[in-house]
């Protein structure tokens, strides 16, 4: 039976009540500690509320990712333990991943998964982005809040059954490094349900080591501050606030930004000014001494809107 049927058969088992009881203990939650250190307490709190991230005592300071479908029904929750310093899953001496229904030993339970974050689909206007990892969906939602970020729970978790709820939606797939071809084939299957494209960003950027390690978009995003991807903002009067920082554009249009905070170690490099303003690609870095800015065009970045 699924969780909905279970709730009817066992009315005293309040699954949403179980969810609510896990929405605490964040000062001890290892993943939450990591996220707070990367993106700050406020953005982390917003992500917790967005995805109903919970804390589990099954393992010391473990995280619960609840699967809640578009009707608000709780399917189950995935429990995982993370390293608070690296943000990586704990896999040694054992792979610490389990399910709430298994830990609670619910009788006659048949797991019927949905996409992690499916409850967010009530907003029908935004583009949907799908990644493998629940943690990655949470992190990407902080950096790119204009899209709805969902997770399928692994490269094998992306299937037509789970994605049936995406009928008529515009969907972008973000496969882990080394999984582009596999997800490109998946996209062809999903195209019967929704408009589907596959991002090649990670496949093109990943080194051999990163590809072997299975890097995903979150592994790159956490190298930056979310403010680096902030959309242009204006004052209440509709005018930009002028506070500037200097950057440089080469003859072939490449943008070089002295990397904060010291601005004398590396340059943050974008293919062009438009790419920077739209944050349509992740930047690369160049050692400070390797770039000769003599003769380059000087431009100014508005530090309040982070645009040129």
The full 3-state SS of 194-220, as one line of letters, equals CEEEECCHHHHHCCHHHHHCCCCHHHH
Contact 259, 267 (CB under 8 A): yes
Phi-psi region of 178 (alpha: psi -120 to 50; beta: other; left: phi over 0): left
Tokens of 6: 């279970």
Nearest CA to 75 out of 33, 110, 37, 32 is that of 110
pTM, rounded to two decimals: 0.74
Nearest CA to 270 out of 232, 305, 301, 233 is that of 301
Instruction: Reply yes or no: is the peptide bond before residue 261 cis, omega within 30 of 0.
Output: yes
Percentage of residues of the chain with pLDDT beyond 90: 49
Contact 108, 1 (CB under 8 A): yes
CA atoms of 214 and 18, how far apart (whole Å): 33
pLDDT at 241 over 60: no
| Residue 261 pLDDT class (50, 70, 90 cuts) | low
pLDDT at 8 over 80: no
CA atoms of 290 and 29, how far apart (whole Å): 42
Domain extents for the chain? 3-103, 118-226, 230-302
| Residue 226 pLDDT class (50, 70, 90 cuts) | confident
Percentage of residues of the chain with pLDDT beyond 70: 89
Q: What is the mean pLDDT of the chain?
A: 86
pLDDT at 13 over 90: no
**Weakest mean pLDDT among 18-22, 165-169, 178-182:** 18-22
Out of 3.40.1360, 3.40.1130, 3.90.220, 2.30.30, which CATH number does the structure's domain 118-226 have? 3.40.1360
Helices (H), the chain: 3-9, 15-22, 30-39, 41-51, 100-103, 134-143, 180-190, 201-205, 208-212, 217-221, 273-278
Token pair 């997770």 in the structure block, residue: 151
| Residue 242 pLDDT class (50, 70, 90 cuts) | very low
3-state secondary structure of 287: strand
| Residue 94 pLDDT class (50, 70, 90 cuts) | confident
Provide the β-strand partners of residue 307: 302
Mean pLDDT along residues 140-152: 94
CA atoms of 42 and 232, how far apart (whole Å): 20
pLDDT at 142 over 60: yes
């Amino acid at each position: 039976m699924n969780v909905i049927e279970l709730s009817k058969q066992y009315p005293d088992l309040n699954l949403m009540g179980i969810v609510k009881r896990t929405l605490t203990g964040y000062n001890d939650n290892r993943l939450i500690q990591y996220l707070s250190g990367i993106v700050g307490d406020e953005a982390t709190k917003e992500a917790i509320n967005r995805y109903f991230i919970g804390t589990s005592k099954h393992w010391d300071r473990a995280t619960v990712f609840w699967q809640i479908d578009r009707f608000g029904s709780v399917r189950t929750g995935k429990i995982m333990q993370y390293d608070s310093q690296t943000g990586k899953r704990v896999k040694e001496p054992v792979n610490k991943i389990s399910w709430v229904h298994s830990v609670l030993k619910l009788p006659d339970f048949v797991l019927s998964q949905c996409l992690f974050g499916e409850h967010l689909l009530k907003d029908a206007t935004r583009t949907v982005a799908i990644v493998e990892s629940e943690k990655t969906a949470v992190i990407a939602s902080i950096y790119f809040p204009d899209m709805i970020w969902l997770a399928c729970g692994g490269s094998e978790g992306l299937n037509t059954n789970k994605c049936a709820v995406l009928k008529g939606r515009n969907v972008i797939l973000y496969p882990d490094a080394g999984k582009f071809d596999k997800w490109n084939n998946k996209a062809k299957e999903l195209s019967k349900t929704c408009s589907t494209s596959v991002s090649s960003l990670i496949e093109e950027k990943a080194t051999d080591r990163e590809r072997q390690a299975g890097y995903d978009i979150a592994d790159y995003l956490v190298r930056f501050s979310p403010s680096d991807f902030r959309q242009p903002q204006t004052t209440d009067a509709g005018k930009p606030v002028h506070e500037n920082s200097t950057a440089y554009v080469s003859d072939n249009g490449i943008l070089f930004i002295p990397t904060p905070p010291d601005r004398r170690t590396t340059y943050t490099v974008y293919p062009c000014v438009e790419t920077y303003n739209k944050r349509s690609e992740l930047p690369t870095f160049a050692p400070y001494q390797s770039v000769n800015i003599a003769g380059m065009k000087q431009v100014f970045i508005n530090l309040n809107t982070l645009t040129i």
